[in-house]
């Protein structure tokens, strides 16, 4: 009974979160459970954020990463494979050796970045708190219960996809009467899970930023629509107070917009290089597994439908992980920038309305600020996360795929 009461108390407190850090408590706990967070953030009060070391997260970190390194060693030493148990590719073991090399470099980098660095810096959280404090003054408070639901959805989806993938691959191999190489199975899935965790956290922070831009746009839109009230009011003290209130609201919108721009730069700083190597490794996976798919289909593996279906599912999981990671990163970055750009159009509409010199002056000053503070999300400045990136990635994948096909074809003809 005491345990149930304690759980209810915690659950009630969780759904009465006072800021975004409290709203993401479940996600942080799930990250610690998987060893993905050792240094994390807590919020002792509504307006403060601190970094704290988690002994539980550290123990899980030692366990899961030690398990991965053990599985990687066994899979490499015994040359374990899943792909070649279903289809003997022309690349033989070299394709999987390349995949293992990319995976170990990626995992070793994230062994430091993800648990100890990515969630440790309170700068972005403090910027979010500052945004929310200003929005609260504007009467556009943030619904933290929505953040709670998104946080739970993100955390549960990570676990669901991870275990569902393990289960489907195991069932496919079991159905083919193939002995399941468990070390290889875990070694292959773990890096993809890290990629998905990085993407989930990045997209969640972008979503939080986009919601703040939406709140500012709503405040400015309400100001624009109040022109009819101001226009019919007589020039009196009440009218002067109304104009002063509108000017103050525009100034606050400009202030929160500058904080949001600083927040976008903070996201770029923390996630830039991590996103770069995440997307680079996933491009190589797409090329490699697209080649496997084309080779197996051309070789007539579909004649053995049972093996072909197992092969397609295995390849589909790898390709879909990479494609979804690209699409999610680009979509949330693009939608956040699009929402930020909407602010300029609304401010220009306020300028064009007959509010009077004072309101027009404030709107023009905010318009000039928006001209200079245009958010842009990049991967360490090497490329911008927008829809044109998907076109460039598609072109690169096709180019490398053609080169790989020519290389293998030439090698076979020389033999």
Confidence check: pLDDT of 353 > 70: yes
Q: What are 219-222's contacts with CB under 8 Å, separation 24+? A: 219/135, 219/138, 219/139, 219/140, 219/249, 219/253, 220/250, 220/253, 220/343, 220/346, 220/347, 220/350, 221/346
> Which residue in 96, 324, 351 sits closest to 220, CA to CA?
351
Q: What pLDDT, on a 0 to 100 scale, did the predictor assign at position 104? A: 93
Q: What is the pLDDT of residues 240-299, one digit of tens each?
A: 677 788 888 889 999 999 999 999 999 999 999 999 999 999 999 998 898 888 888 888
pLDDT band at 138 (very low <50, low <70, confident <90, very high): confident
Q: Is residue 14 a contact partner of residue 147, using CB atoms and an 8 Å limit?
A: no
Phi then psi dihedrals of residue 79, to 5 deg: 50, 50
Q: Is 24 helix (H, G, I), strand (E, B) or coil?
A: coil
Q: What is the pLDDT of residues 362-391, one digit of tens each?
A: 888 988 988 888 899 998 888 889 888 888
Least reliable range by pLDDT among 45-49, 108-112, 141-145, 233-237: 233-237
Q: What pLDDT, on a 0 to 100 scale, did the predictor assign at position 45? A: 75
Q: What is the pLDDT of residues 357-366, one digit of tens each?
A: 888 888 889 8
Confidence check: pLDDT of 181 > 80: yes
Euclidean distance between CA atoms 36 and 328, whole angstroms: 20
Q: What is the pLDDT of residues 326-344, one digit of tens each?
A: 999 999 999 999 999 999 9
Q: What is the CA radius of gyration of the chain?
A: 26
Q: Rounded mean pLDDT of the chain?
A: 84
Alpha-carbon distance values, 89 to 127, 132, 297, 298 (Å): 51, 55, 11, 11
Q: What pLDDT, on a 0 to 100 scale, did the predictor assign at position 227? A: 47
Q: Is residue 267 a contact partner of residue 124, using CB atoms and an 8 Å limit?
A: yes
The maximal CA–CA distance of the chain, rounded, in angstroms, is 94
Q: Which residue has the tokens 């401010």?
A: 347
pLDDT band at 7 (very low <50, low <70, confident <90, very high): very low
Q: What pLDDT, on a 0 to 100 scale, did the predictor assign at position 1? A: 46
Q: What pLDDT, on a 0 to 100 scale, did the predictor assign at position 412? A: 52
Average pLDDT of the residues in 193-205:
90
Q: What pLDDT, on a 0 to 100 scale, did the predictor assign at position 44? A: 76
Q: What pLDDT, on a 0 to 100 scale, did the predictor assign at position 85? A: 86
Q: Is residue 292 a contact partner of residue 87, using CB atoms and an 8 Å limit?
A: yes
pLDDT band at 13 (very low <50, low <70, confident <90, very high): low
Q: Which residue has the higher pLDDT, 403 or 101?
A: 101
Q: Which residue has the higher pLDDT, 62 or 140?
A: 62
pLDDT band at 94 (very low <50, low <70, confident <90, very high): confident
| CB neighbour list of residue 240: distance below 8 Å, 6 or more residues apart | none
Burial environment of residue 401 by CB neighbours within 10 A (0 to 12, 13 to 18, 19 or more): middle
| CB neighbour list of residue 81: distance below 8 Å, 6 or more residues apart | 93, 96, 181, 184
Alpha-carbon distance values, 208 to 103, 110, 114, 406, 409 (Å): 30, 24, 20, 46, 49
Euclidean distance between CA atoms 239 and 237, whole angstroms: 5
Whole-prediction pTM: 0.88
Average pLDDT of the residues in 118-144:
84
Q: At what angle do helices 237-298 and 387-414 cross, to 10 degrees?
A: 10
Q: Is 45 helix (H, G, I), strand (E, B) or coil?
A: coil
């Amino acid at each position: 009974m005491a345990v149930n009461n304690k759980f209810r108390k915690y659950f009630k407190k969780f759904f009465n979160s006072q800021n975004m850090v409290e709203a993401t408590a479940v996600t942080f706990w799930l990250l610690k459970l998987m060893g993905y967070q050792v240094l994390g953030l807590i919020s002792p009060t509504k307006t403060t954020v601190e970094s704290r070391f988690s002994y539980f997260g550290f123990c899980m970190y030692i366990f899961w990463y030690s398990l991965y390194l053990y599985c990687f060693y066994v899979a490499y030493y015994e040359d374990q494979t899943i792909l070649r148990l279903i289809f003997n590719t022309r690349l033989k073991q070299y394709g999987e050796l390349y995949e293992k090399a990319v995976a170990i470099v990626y995992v070793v980098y994230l062994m430091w970045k993800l648990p100890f660095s990515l969630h440790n810096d309170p700068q972005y959280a403090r910027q979010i708190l500052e945004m929310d404090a200003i929005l609260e003054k504007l009467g556009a408070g943030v619904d933290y219960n929505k953040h709670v639901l998104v946080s739970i959805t993100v955390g549960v989806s990570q676990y669901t996809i991870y275990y569902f993938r393990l289960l489907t691959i195991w069932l496919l191999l079991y159905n083919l009467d193939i002995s399941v190489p468990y070390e290889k199975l875990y070694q292959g899935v773990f890096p993809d899970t890290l990629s998905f965790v990085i993407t989930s956290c990045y997209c969640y922070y972008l979503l939080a930023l986009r919601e703040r831009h939406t709140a500012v746009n709503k405040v400015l839109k309400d100001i624009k629509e109040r022109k009819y009230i101001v226009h019919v009011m007589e020039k009196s003290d009440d009218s002067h107070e109304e104009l002063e209130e509108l000017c103050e609201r525009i100034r606050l919108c400009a202030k929160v917009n500058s904080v949001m721009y600083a927040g976008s730069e903070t996201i770029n700083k923390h996630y830039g290089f991590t996103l770069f190597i995440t997307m680079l490794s996933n491009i190589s996976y797409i090329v490699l597994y697209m080649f496997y798919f084309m080779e197996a289909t051309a070789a007539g593996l579909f004649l053995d439908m049972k093996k072909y279906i197992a092969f397609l599912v295995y390849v589909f999981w790898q390709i879909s992980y990479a494609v979804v990671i690209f699409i999610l990163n680009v979509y949330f970055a693009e939608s956040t920038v699009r929402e930020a750009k909407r602010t300029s159009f609304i401010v220009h509409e306020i300028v064009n309305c007959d509010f009077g010199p004072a309101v027009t002056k404030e709107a023009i000053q905010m318009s000039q600020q928006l001209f200079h503070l245009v958010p842009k999300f990049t991967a360490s400045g090497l490329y911008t996360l927008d829809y044109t990136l998907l076109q460039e990635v598609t072109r690169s994948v096709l180019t490398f795929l053609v080169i790989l096909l020519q290389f293998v074809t030439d090698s076979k003809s020389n033999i």
